[in-house]
Chain A
Amino acid sequence: MIDHESLRIGVYVCHCGSNIAGALDVEELTRFAEGLPGVALSRHYKYMCSDPGQELVKRDIVEHRLNRIVVAACSPNLHEPTFRRAAEDAGLNRFLVQMCNIREQVAWVTEDKADALTKAEAHLAGAVRRVAGHEPLQRQFVRIVPRALVVGGGIAGIQAALTLADAGHKVVLVEREPSIGGHMAMFDKTFPTLDCAACILTPKMTSVKLHPNIKLLTYSTVESVEGSVGNYRVKIRRKPRYIDEDLCVGCMQCIDGCVFTQAKFSNAFDQGLGLRKPVYLPFPQAVPPVPVVDPEVCLQIARGKCKQSCVEACGERNAFKFDQQEEIEEYNVGAIIVATGFKAFDPSVIEYYGYGKYPNVYTSLEVERLLNAGGPTGGKLVLRDGSTPKRVGIVHCVGSRDANYHPYCSRVCCMYALKLAHLVREKTGAEVTNCYIDIRTPGKGFEEFYNRVQNEGVQFIRGKVADITPAAGNGDSPHLPERPSGCLAQMGTVPFSGGLVMQVDDTLLGSIRKVEVDMVILAVALEAQADAGDVRRTFGISCSTEGFFLEKHPKLAPVNTANDGVMVAGACQGAKDIPDTVAQADAAAAKAMVLIDSGQIELEPNTAWVDEEMCSGCKTCISLCPYQAITPDEERKIAVIDQALCKGCGTCVAACPSGAAKQHLFGDEQVNEELEGLMNYV
């Protein structure tokens, strides 16, 4: 029950510069607060969050014996901790402070000054009546598991894992594919310095493999995550490779020994342009250097009948395990870094670009593989018929900056298109024409690189390519019956290898042009992974409208998420290049360390608790709790809520038939009082 007699509430209205004071009359609001029940004093000040502002509150608590504080200012997300701490410094329990958000919820969203005042008064009346019912609470802490989980073994995950591990932290790194490396491992060179991607990436990959603090789980996915910040229980599904990672020495004899003498299956790592055997290593520098068996096409696994020459080649190492099954492993971790990367946009949905229809229309990622010395052509840029292109067109913004596909700019395409233009010219001497809407080069050394590529003679047309069609009189059939599964197998047999025409409005020249080329490279967008929605749910984080994971604050908390123990890094958070990805990965690692090194974490005070005298032990709440925080005490016939697991969602409170489940800071009295205060002024 509220003891109205002894209430001495102090109300503080913040101007927030002109953010609030410019939108409503703060003096009038202060006078209004004076008249509210229990208010002992009311003040307004330019910046309540400043040191003098906080000092004001502290002094008043002592001098005026205040026992409740209401701060009408910004969102509690920003300064609730500030004022809780101030109150505590002055000897008041920190939970006797209530924030009243008159900035985001009133000043910024209300145009009329009089309306804003009325609305602010209603909010303030609600806050004052609510705080009257607040009770002093104890702060609660839990220990943090000193281990981090990094999900995704691209450059983001690799960097985050190494930074954590180098700082002495235990890391579990999970990668879905057979090898870490991600997209960066597919690239030939990196812009703008043209370092060879493998040369700078593979040392890091090897470090991951050798690091004593890193447990590397490739060919694995996160199945489920339970618990909360500081204490997560993670189940990891490990797909069978059919080769024992501990026994295999990476000699690759099995691949030579496979009964398939020719590689004939599409290698996904080569974007389907190269071929592999049923037992394969996705690329030469793969980490771990352990081959993987494709159960769909391996004769032994698919049909149970094979002379197993691979096993013979493996010899006494005996690494083959055809009976390997999927396994679930469990780990406890304190912090999680999600670094699941991006997916390259599939341009076949843009029919007018003819991808999948005209063989010599390629995606940028395919061309990366063709240019890469480790790729299917050994680094030779060739057309489907094996010849070298003399004229190459590069189409920018394919799937990016387009309301029909992705409205956002993918940020990296201009630079990688310029890089490809340079490499194509360097390797083939071909005439290269870039068709762009805008060239965006806002990075260190980027504009200089653009200028360099211009001076190398690459052509630029400002306009978005409208149609790609076969040039007149080039062969019988402009169509492919279906997309070939491997370019090597198809070379020379593809009926159509003639020229293509790009139709484009040269908007600077003011005329529509037809540009004939031998090869078209589509600079495809970066988009969220196809299963980003599932990943989001697994880790309890959010996605923005375009499907990338949402950071907690776009400017001030760029690697944190709404889930306190989960950080994001790299292109899963939004399209970005390698330097930005690495920087973000280090930031995420730092944030994970902040968490882990603090050793313990303060729990939110708004947890639920059970009034033992009222609980009948009906167990209704137990199955409803989404965090498995409630267990039955069979002896005393009551429900017990684990304060460390409770997230304060209030489900049990609403469901309890006898009203025994209650919630700190969200008692009936507190909520009802707030509502009544609010409604009286609406």
Chain B
Amino acid sequence: MATVQTSKGADLLERLGKNGDGKPPLGCMQCGLCAASCPLGQAMEFPPRKLILQAESGNLEKVLASPSLWMCVACYACSKRCPRGIELADVLWPALRDAAMQQGIQPPAELQETFQNIFKYGNTLGRSPRQRMDWTKDLDVRVLDLSKETRPVEVLLLVGCYPSYYPRNQVVARAFARLLTQLGITWGVLGAQEKAIGECDRMFGEEGLFETLVEANRKLLDKQDFRKLVVLDPHAFRALQKYYPRFGVWYPVQHYTTFLAERLEQLKPLIAKPVEAAVTYHDNCCAGRRCGYFDPPRNLLQLVPGVKLVEMACNRDNALCCGGGGGGMWLDAHIVAQGGQRLSDQRVAQAAETGAEILAVSCPYELARFEDAVKVAGLEGRLKVRDIIEVLAECMDLGERNA
């Protein structure tokens, strides 16, 4: 009997999808729904369909060497729609990127720098862990630093890299701190010990770095006594909910939108004034399309008197990604160099079409990305980008005192 020669690519595809991660890519029927759904598909040399086709046909090397391998921003549009149930974003892309790096193919330089930062400092921004608590400086509510004193708390808040260090996001973290305190919840943070959750590493195929972070976070969190984790970053939510359990590490975790939306009745009495504005909400990909939480953020916005919620043409399952996921936060230059458009620019244009005055978001990356896009589009003064927490804080008078 003649033996059928399988290519390395086919072997790789066969290995995937064997541990409950969707269906095996070998079942792909080349319908192209993924490629045409991909917001960057047209700019890719190998959009998802062609990745599979080429890998299967023995052209794995060609795929791994292509710059398009580093263009996926993990928006999950392909995974969600794939008629054969293949987990393209969660499984296929990271596996191929991992294979590329193992062959010594370097990802774009910006991204390598980010990995270095996480490796050295435990955060994507390359800042000192000692500055982790800078966001609490002069904050008018007490923040319990569990790295200094371990006490039982209801909520352990994982602040995340951007809200800890980046001034624009610090505002959100501070408002959330006030909100938690107002709700009478006992809560604390990990302070200088907090480390990146590592979702972007995993999605980028840096499986080794991700494992290191899982282990480090497990050690930190096992020491603490909390009822649930609340995260500001939906990417961290996704990783803790789906990927940490792979390593036997599981904690109850909620993204802040779901956490707050369960407490609408307690939030109501805190309302002090209306926010008169037409607001459109941008669904982040992780909590939204990937995990199906579309209503909690909208319920929160609708709680605010004066808010007129308007929807963009693509919303919920069909929302356009901001382009920041899966490492995309650091890939704009690479994507544009490959002929791709910045998704944040397109999304802001869609938001502007609704006539909304506020573009509400619930992911730390989006503030920076969309505010930049608003500037590029010359919409400053007409369209404001606000985290949902900020909208709530405004109507509850919990914003910055000096702002």
Interface on A for B, CB 8 Å cutoff? Answer: 351-352, 397, 401-404, 437-438, 462-467, 469-470, 478-479, 503-507, 510-512
Contact present for A505 and B32 (CB under 8 Å)? yes
Interface string of B24-51 (1 = CB under 8 A from A): 0000011111111100011000010110
Q: In this assembly, does B333 line the interface, its C-beta being within 8 Å of a C-beta of chain A?
A: no
- B36-A504 in contact (CB<8A): yes
- CA gap between A478 and B317 in the complex, in Å: 18
Cα A467 to Cα B37 with chains together (Å): 7
Contact B85 A464 (CB under 8 A): no
Taken together as a complex, chains A and B put the C-alpha atoms of A401 and B83 apart, in Å, by 7
Question: Using a Cβ cutoff of 8 Å, how many contacts connect chains A and B?
Answer: 75
CB–CB B35/A478 < 8 A: no
Residue of A nearest to B83 (CB): A402
Given contacts A505-B47, A512-B42, contact A469 B313 (CB under 8 A): yes
Pick the residue among B41, B50, B316 that contacts A351 (CB under 8 A).
B316
Most interface-central of A397, A403, A437, A438 (chain B CB within 10 A): A403
Can you list 18 residue pairs at the A/B interface with Cβ under 8 Å? Answer: A351-B316, A351-B318, A352-B81, A397-B83, A401-B29, A402-B83, A403-B85, A404-B81, A438-B29, A462-B32, A464-B32, A464-B36, A504-B36, A505-B41, A507-B32, A511-B42, A512-B35, A512-B47
Given that A403-B82, A403-B83, A404-B81 are contacting pairs, would A464 and B47 also be in contact in the complex, using a CB cutoff of 8 Å?
no
Q: CB-nearest residue of chain A relative to B313?
A: A478
Query: Which residue of A is nearest B82, CB measured?
Result: A403
| Shortest Cβ distance from B27 into A: residue | A403
Question: In the complex, how many angstroms separate the beta carbon of A499 from the nearest chain B beta carbon?
Answer: 15
Are B313 and A437 in contact (CB-based, < 8 A)?
no
A438 to chain B, nearest CB (A): 8
Q: How large is the interface on B (under 10, 10 to 19, 20 to 34, 35 or more residues)?
A: 20 to 34
How many Å from the CB of B119 to the closest CB on chain A? 37
Q: A352-B318, A507-B30, A512-B47 are in contact. Are A404 and B36 (CB under 8 A)?
A: no
Taken together as a complex, chains A and B put the C-alpha atoms of A438 and B313 apart, in Å, by 31
Given A402-B83, A403-B82, A403-B84: A466 and B42 within 8 A (CB)?
no
Complex Cα distance, B34 from A403, in Å, reads 14
In the complex the two chains form, is A507's CB within 8 Å of B83's CB? no
In the docked arrangement, what's the CA distance between A634 and B82, Å?
A: 66
Contacting residues, chain A, for B31 (C-beta < 8 A): 397, 437, 463-464, 505, 507
Contact at B313–A466, with CB atoms within 8 Å? no
**Is the beta-carbon distance between A466 and B36 smaller than 8 angstroms?**
yes
Residues of A within 8 A of B30 (CB): 507
Given contact pairs A351-B318, A352-B317, A352-B318, a sample of 20 additional A-B residue pairs in the complex whose CB atoms are under 8 Å apart: A351-B317, A397-B83, A401-B83, A403-B85, A404-B80, A404-B81, A404-B83, A437-B29, A464-B31, A464-B33, A464-B36, A466-B81, A467-B37, A469-B313, A470-B313, A504-B32, A505-B34, A505-B49, A511-B42, A512-B47
In the complex, what residues of A have CB within 8 A of residue B81's CB?
352, 404, 466
| A433 shortest CB reach to chain B, Å | 14
A463 contact set on B, CB distance < 8 A: 31-33, 36
Bound complex: CA A466 to CA B35 (Å) = 8
Asked if B23 is at the interface of the complex by the 8 Å CB criterion, the answer is: yes
- Nearest-Cβ distance from residue A320 to partner chain B, whole angstroms: 49
How far is B300's CA from A379's CA once the two chains are assembled, in angstroms? Answer: 49
Minimum Cβ distance to chain B for residue A555 (Å):
25
B313 to A505, Cβ gap below 8 A? no
Which of B29, B81, B83, B84 neighbours the largest number of chain A CB atoms within 10 Å of its CB?
B83
A512 with B36: CB separation less than 8 A: yes
Distance, CA A512 to CA B83, complexed state (A): 18
A514 to chain B, nearest CB (A): 9
CB-nearest residue of chain B relative to A357?
Answer: B313
Q: How far is the CB of A297 from chain B (nearest CB, A)?
A: 33
Closest residue on chain A to residue B33 by CB atoms = A464
Contact present for B33 and A505 (CB under 8 Å): yes
A406 closest partner in B (C-beta): B83
Q: Report how far A503 CA is from B50 CA in the complex, Å.
A: 17
Chain B residues whose C-beta falls within 8 Å of the C-beta of A351 in the assembled complex? 316-318
